[in-house]
């Protein structure tokens, strides 16, 4: 088959994600927006790290020097590739967890919100480590990197309520767990 076929379930998911409104979906949308903005920041840095642009556009402030930070050897050590590309891959994985599933994912696929929250926490911690590395090793910061790191930190409180509800669902549905 060359073309994909739709299903009623896929149509309901499309309608829910695009037009629905509830507490968890609204939070998922906020996180999606934050992660897409963070991905755009990684994209700018990746353009520089791959030589597609010669300078990283950045405000002229004494503590900012994206060119120095993003051209450093540390930015190319993991898997021998630009770290901004790894950031894009990481954010794509997080977006997959955030955007997967419909209205009932807390009860039908509770591992999705739990895994999404764990991944956002990992992203926030990674951003913190990279920010500390910039401060200690380079004594300068990349504004684009700070923006991407901030996206993860700001997203963290948004994913916790759904993850908590999903964890309760996992506990109540396991053998020996409390029934509803």
Residues 162-169: what's their mean pLDDT? 97
pLDDT digits (tens, 9 = 90+) for 79-118: 999 999 999 999 999 999 999 999 999 999 999 999 999 9
Length of the chain: 180
Would 49 be classed as within a structural domain? Answer: yes
Where residue 121 sits, what CATH number does that domain have? 1.20.1440.130
Query: CB of 152 within 8 A of CB of 38?
Result: yes
Evaluate whether residue 4 is within a structural domain. Answer: no
User: Number of folded domains in the chain?
Assistant: 1
The mean per-residue pLDDT over the stretch 7-11 comes to 94
Domain assignment of residue 47, yes or no: yes
Instruction: Supply the range of the domain harboring residue 140.
Output: 20-173
The whole-angstrom separation of Cα 109 and Cα 13 is 14
Give tens-digit pLDDT for 51-68: 999 999 999 999 999 999
**Widest distance between CA atoms in the chain:** 60
Q: In whole angstroms, what is the distance from residue 178 CA to residue 105 CA?
A: 20
Give tens-digit pLDDT for 28-37.
999 999 999 9
pTM value surpassing 0.85? yes
144 lies in a domain? Answer: yes
Tell me whether residue 178 is in a domain.
no
Rounded Cα distance between 160 and 120, Å, is 10
Which pLDDT band holds residue 178 (cuts at 50, 70, 90)? Answer: low
Task: Determine the pLDDT at residue 180.
Answer: 45
DSSP 36-100: HHHHHHHHHHHHHHTTSSSS------TTB-HHHHHTSGGGG-GGGS-HHHHHHHHHHHHHHHHH-
64 beta partners: 141
* Within-domain flag for 57: yes
């Amino acid at each position: 088959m060359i073309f994909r076929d739709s299903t009623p379930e896929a149509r309901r998911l499309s309608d829910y994600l695009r037009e629905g409104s509830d507490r968890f979906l609204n939070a998922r949308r906020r996180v999606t927006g934050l992660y897409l903005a963070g991905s755009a920041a990684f994209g700018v840095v990746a353009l520089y790290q791959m030589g597609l642009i010669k300078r990283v556009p950045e405000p002229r402030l004494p503590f900012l020097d994206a060119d120095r930070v993003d051209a450093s050897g540390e930015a190319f050590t993991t898997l021998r590739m630009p770290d901004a590309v790894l950031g894009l891959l990481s954010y794509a994985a997080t977006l997959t967890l955030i955007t997967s599933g419909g209205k009932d994912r807390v009860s039908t696929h509770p591992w999705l919100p739990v895994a999404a929250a764990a991944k956002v926490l990992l992203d926030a911690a990674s951003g913190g480590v990279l920010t500390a590395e910039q401060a200690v090793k380079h004594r300068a910061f990349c504004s684009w990197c700070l923006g991407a790191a901030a996206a993860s930190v700001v997203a963290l409180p948004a994913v916790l309520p759904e993850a908590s509800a999903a964890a309760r669902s996992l506990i109540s549905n396991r053998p020996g767990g409390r029934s509803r």
